[in-house]
Structure 1
Amino acid sequence: MTSDPLSTFKSRISEVVDGMVLPPEQRVELRRRLEACFDDAGCAGAAECDGRIEALTARVRQAEEQLAQAQKMEAIGRLTGGIAHDFNNLLTGILGYSSLLKTFLPEHGKGFEAAAYIERSARRASELTRQLLAYSRREAPTFRPVDLRKVTGEAIEILSRTVNKDVEIHTDFHAPPEPVSGDAGSLVQALLNLGVNASDAMPRGGALTFSTSLFVSEGEVYLNDVLVPEGRYASICVSDSGSGIPEAIRDEIFAPFFTTKAPGEGTGLGLSTVYSCVRSHGGFIRLVSSVGVGTTFQILLPLMEESGGSPEPREPETVVPRGTETVLVVDDEEIPLNLLCDVLRSLGYTTLSASCGEEGIEILRFAPEKVDLVILDRIMPGMDGVETLARLRAIRPSLRTILCSGTSEGEETSPGTVPDGFDDFLQKPYERETLARVVRSVLDVKPSKY
C-alpha cells in the first residue's frame, strides 16, 4: 500500500483543524492526536493499515462535524453580540432611572426598597450582557483585583437556586488575603460550569463542596504534567460525591464539544470554557477522580502583590459629586439621551441635547464657550462618536469629552480603557453615582488633556 492515502488524509486534517474556531493550543493538541495515528499506521503492517486508515477517516469526519458546530457557535456569537448591545441600551434606562428614582423616595420606605430591587436586578442583567459580549468575542475580559471568596459566593448563590435540590452545597473557605487579577464574570461562569457538571454527576443527590486555600509552589510542582512556576497561588477546589470520571476519557474532557451526555443535553463546551478561562488568567487546573467515589477539580490562580489595590468593584461613596457646568449630550437613542439629561439636571448641571452628531456640532458652533463638557455615544447613524469628536475639536480644541457606549460590533474599545481623543469612558448601563463621578473627574481637569 502506498502512502498517498495517508498524505491525503494528513492534508485534510490540517485543513479541517486550522479552520476550527478554537484556541491555538487546542488546535495544536487536536492536530497532534490525529497525526499520531499516522505514526502508528506507518509502523503497522499492510494488513493493519486499511483498518487504521478507516479509523482515521472516522476521526477526520468527527473533526469536520466539530468544525461545523464551531461555525454554528460563531454565528450564534455574532447574533448574541448584537442582542446584548441592544439589551444594554434598554438596561441603561432601567438601571439609570431606578437609581434616579431612589433620590426622590424616603430611604427606608417601601418605594425606595422597590427601586433598589429594580436596580439590583438591572445590575445582574448588565453582568449577564457583559458575559454574552465576552462570549461572542465582542468584548475583552476586564482584569482587575478580584476577591475569590466573593466570586465563589456569587456562583454558589446561583447554583443553590438551579441545581438538583437533593444536592447539598458546602463551603470550606481559607482564602488568602491577597486578591487575584482577573475577570470576575468569567471566573463566576467557570465555577458555575464546574458546579453544574458536578450536580449532573449526582442525579440522586450528594455533596458539592467549594473550598479555597493558599497554594505555594517552589517551581517543582506539576498539575496534569504542566509545571507550576514558583509563586503564591489561590487554590479553588470544586468537589462532588458523584459517579466519577472513567480514566479512559480523562484526557478528553477539556476538548471542545466532548460530552458524555445524551444528544441534545449538552454542548460539550462547559469544561472547555473552564480550561480557557483558567489559562487566560495565567492559572492551572487539574482533575482528580475516582469512579464511584467522586471528582475534584482544582484551580490555581496567581495572587497579586499586596500593593495591587483593593478588589473591584469598590463600595459606592456616600457623597455624590455635583456641579453647575453646562453639558452637551449627543445620542441617537431616545432613552439614553433623556436619561443622561435627567440625571445630570438632578446633579445641578445645565444640559443641552442632540440626537445626532451633526446637531451637536451646530449647538457647539452657536455657543462654543458655553459648553463645558460633551458626552458622546459611540455608535450613531451617519456620523459616529469618533468622527463627531474630530469635528467638535475643530471648533474648540480644548473641549472635554466622554465617550459613552454599550460596546458592540465595530468597536475597538475595551471596557475600562479610555479611547484615544476622549478624556474618559462611560460604560452602559450605568448608575447615577457612576455618571456623577466620571463627569466630575473630567470637569475638574482644566482644560482637556488633549
Structure 2
Amino acid sequence: KETLTLLSKSMNVNLNTAIHFNVKYETVLFISSDSTYLNDDIKTEIQALIPILQKIFLISKKKDIIDPGNDPLYERLKRYSGCRSVLIIPCFYESELTGIVLVGKKNGGFDNTEKNFLIEFTEFFSFAAKLGMSLELKNEFEAKLNQNQRFETIGKLASGIAHDLSNILSNIFGSLDLIKKKYTLEPGVEKLVANIEHSSIRARELTRGFLSYGKPTTKQKETISIKSFIDELSKSIIQTFPPEISFDVDIEDNIHKTKGDSTQLYQVILNVCVNAKESIPGSGKVKLSAANFTINKSNKIRFPFLPEGEYVCVSVEDNGSGISKENLDKIFDPYFSTKQKESVSGIGLYVSYGIIKAHNGHIEVTSTEKLGTKFEIFLPATVQKKKETKEITEKIILLADDEETLRDLLAELLEASNYSVIKVSNGDEVLKVLTEEIKADLLIIDHHMPGMSGLECIREIKKLKFDFPIILSTGSTHFSTTLNLEEENISAIIYKPYDFDDLLKKINEII
C-alpha cells in the first residue's frame, strides 16, 4: 500500500524536470523520447547510458514489460543503476511511444503482482506525462501570443510619432542638400553643416526603423543568396572581434535563398553578433550558422505565427554570460538594455524583431546564465528571380505634395538634376494638369493630402486611361503589403524622410 501511494503521487509531475524517487529498495527512472532524466542518487554519466537507451527505444514496440534476456547492455544498466533487478516498461499515449519507465530493485526481483501493477501504473503515467507536455506547450503559446500583442501596440505608437518626424527630417535634408550645392561654405560652417547632417542621418535611420516596425519594405523583392550574404557579413565581423574570441561560420550545403532587404538583414545579424561578442567577458567563441528548416505539423506549435513551409534558419550562438530569465522576456522591448549607456550600439533588438517580422520571419532566443545565448532567425525560403533593368533618361516630372516647403525643396533638387518639374498641391490639381494635355513622364504624389488622397488620385488617373509611371510617396510602410502595385498602376513607393540620392536613383531606373 505504501508503494502504491508513493507511485500514484509521482503522477503529479512536471515533464521538464527529473522524474525520480526512491521507495524502500526501488529506484525509478523516466526517459522521454527526446530527453533523459536521472535520479541524483544514481552515480553515472549520461553518455555511458546512451547506447543502452537507444537500444531500448528500438525494441519498445508493444505495451508490455521488455525482456532483454542476458543482453550485456542490460547488465550494464543494472550495474550503473546499482540495482539487482530492473524492469523496462514502455510508455504509450494513443499508440505513440512517448518514453520509458525503468524501475530498479536493489535486492531481489519483482513478482507478478508488482509487474502487473507497474504496467497499469505506466498507462496512467503516460497520460499524465502527455498532459504535462500539452500544458507546457499551451503556456508557451500563450506567452508568445501576449508578447506578439505587446509588440503590435508598441509598434503602432512608435509608427505614429515617426510619421510626423519624417516630414520634418525631409525638410532638414532638403535644406542641407541645397546649402551644399548653392553656397561655398567656410571651413567652420562646413563642419557645422556636416554635424547637422550626421545627426540627421542617425535620426532618419531611427525614424525608419520605427516606421517599418513589423512591416515589409519595398526592397523585399530582392532575392538574397544566404551563402554570399553570410560570407560578406563574416568579413566585417571578423575584423571587429578581438583575438581572444573565436568566430566560426557554418553554412549548410545547398542552403535556400530568401527575399528581403539585405541592408536591414545585414544590420540585424551584425547587431546580434556584436551583442554575442560583448556578452563574453574574456576569451570565448561565437558561431554563426545557416541551415534549411521546415515547419510542419510536428513542430508547428513552436511557431504559432508562421505558416508551414521551407525556411532558412540563421543562428548566432555564444558561450558568454547569458541572459537572466527575468531579462529574457524584456530584451525585445524598446530601449531596454543591460549595457552601460555609452556602450550601447547598433539598431537594437526591438527594431531587429520588427525587421524580421516585416520579412515574415521570427526570432527565437534561448539562454542560460553563465553558459551562453543562442539567437535563431527564421526567414521564408524562396527562389531567385532575375532583376529587370531600365534605360535612364531625363524627363518631365509632375510633383504633388501639400507640404509647400518640402515640395519646393524637392522640386529644386530635381531641377538641379536636369529634370523639369511641374508642382501641384493636391489631387484635383494633378487631374487638371493632365486633362489640359500637359505632358508628364512621371508623377510623384504624396498619399496623405487633404481632400483627394494620393491613392484615390491614382485610381482616377487609371479611369482616365493615362499611361505613365507613378511613384507614391508616404510616411507609412503598410502599403507594401496591402497594395497590389501592378493593379494600382504604381511603379514604386518611396518613404519619408527621403534620401534624395536614393530617390534620384529610383527615378532614373523608372523613366
Q: Normalised by the size of structure 2, how large is the TM-score? A: 0.49
Structure 2 residue 215 is matched with structure 1 residue 137: yes
Aligned partner (choices 353, 359, 381) of residue 450 of structure 2: 381
Q: Which residue of 2 aligns with 1:426?
A: 494
How far is 1:98 from its partner? 3.2
Amino acid at match of 1:430: Y
Displacement of 1:376 after TM fit?
A: 0.8
Answer yes or no: is the 8 Å Cα contact 1:181–1:281 preserved in 2: no
Kept after mapping to 2: 8 A contact 1:208/1:241: yes
Q: Is the 8 A contact 1:329 1:376 kept in 2?
A: yes
What are the residue-to-residue correspondences of 1:45-444 with 2, within 5 Å? 67-104=145-182, 115=193, 118-119=196-197, 121-137=199-215, 139=217, 142-144=220-222, 147-148=229-230, 151=233, 182-184=260-262, 185-193=264-272, 195-196=274-275, 199-200=278-279, 202=280, 206-207=283-284, 209=286, 238=316, 240-243=318-321, 260-262=325-327, 266=331, 277=356, 294=372, 323=394, 325-365=395-435, 367-392=436-461, 397-409=466-478, 412=481, 420-443=488-511
Q: Deviations over 1:321-353 (max 9, x none)?
A: 884x54321112334322221212222334332
Asked whether the equivalents of residues 469 and 489 of structure 2 are also in contact (C-alpha less than 8 Å), the reply is no
Show CA shifts across 1:384-429 (max 9, x none): 11221233455672344322233345664679x6673134443433
Contact kept, 8 Å, 1:337 with 1:353, in 2: the verdict is yes
Contact 1:376 1:385 in 2 (8 A): yes
Distance 1:336 1:399 in 2: 24
Q: Is the 8 A contact 2:400 2:430 kept in 1?
A: yes
| CA 167–305 in structure 1, closer or farther in 2 if over 3 Å, else same | same
CA distance in 2, matches of 1:211, 1:72: 29
Q: What's the Cα RMSD here?
A: 5.9
Deviations 1:249-292 (A, max 9, x none): xxxxxxxxxx6135985458969x779949969999998x9986
For residues 59 and 327 of structure 1, do their structure 2 counterparts lie closer, same or farther at Cα, with a shift above 3 Å needed?
closer
TM-score by length of 1: 0.55
Return the alpha-carbon distance in structure 2 between the equivalents of residues 49 and 303 of structure 1.
38
Provide the rounded CA distance (Å) in 2 between the counterparts of 1:206 and 1:405: 48
The change in CA–CA distance for 1:286 and 1:90 in structure 2 (over 3 A counts) is closer
| Alpha-carbon distance in 1 for matches of 2:475, 2:149 | 26
Larger radius of gyration: 2
Q: Distance in 2 between matches of 1:347 and 1:396?
A: 29
Q: Alpha-carbon deviation of 1:74? A: 1.9
Contact 1:85 1:408 in 2 (8 A): no
Residues of 2 paired with 1:152 and 1:401: CA distance?
39
Q: Which position in structure 2 is the counterpart of 1:316?
A: none
Query: Which amino acid letter does the alignment assign opposite residue 402 of structure 1?
Result: I
Q: Distance in 2 between matches of 1:144 and 1:235?
A: 18
User: In the superposition, relative to structure 1, how do residues 388 and 244 fare at CA in structure 2: closer, same or farther (>3 Å)?
Assistant: closer
**Structure 1 Cα separation of the partners of residues 282 and 152 of structure 2:** 36
The whole-number CA distance in structure 2 between the counterparts of 1:278 and 1:411 is 14
Please say if residues 459 and 488 of structure 2, whose CA atoms lie closer than 8 Å, have aligned partners that are also in contact: no
Compared CA separation, residues 337 and 306, structure 1 to 2 (3 A): closer
- Summarize the Cα distance change of 1:205–1:47 in structure 2 as closer, same or farther, 3 Å threshold: closer
Q: Is the 8 A contact 2:276 2:320 kept in 1?
A: no
In structure 2, the partner of 1:9 is none
Higher relative contact order (CA 8 A, sep 6+): 1
CA distance in 1, matches of 2:317, 2:329: 26
Query: How many pairs were matched up?
Result: 353
Give the secondary structure class of the aligned counterpart of 2:451.
coil
Offset of residue 47 of structure 1 = 11
Matched position secondary structure for 1:421: coil
Structure 2: which amino acid aligns with 1:331? Answer: D
Q: 1:119 to 1:144 in 2, by over 3 A?
A: farther
1:32-51, aligned counterparts within 5 Å?
Answer: none
Structure 1 counterpart of 2:506, one-letter code: V
Counterpart mapping for 1:24-39 below 5 A: none
Q: Separation in 2 of the partners of 1:393 and 1:279?
A: 30
Uncovered stretches (5+) of structure 2, i.e. residues with no partner? 1-92, 99-119, 303-310, 335-348
Percent identity over the alignment is 25
Task: Pick closer, same or farther for the CA change 1:60–1:413 going to 2, 3 Å.
Answer: closer
Q: Distance in 2 between matches of 1:326 and 1:132?
A: 34
Amino acid in the other structure paired with 1:382:
G
Q: Aligned partners of 1:71 and 1:285: how far apart in 2?
A: 16
Q: Compute the displacement of 1:138 (Å).
A: 6.4
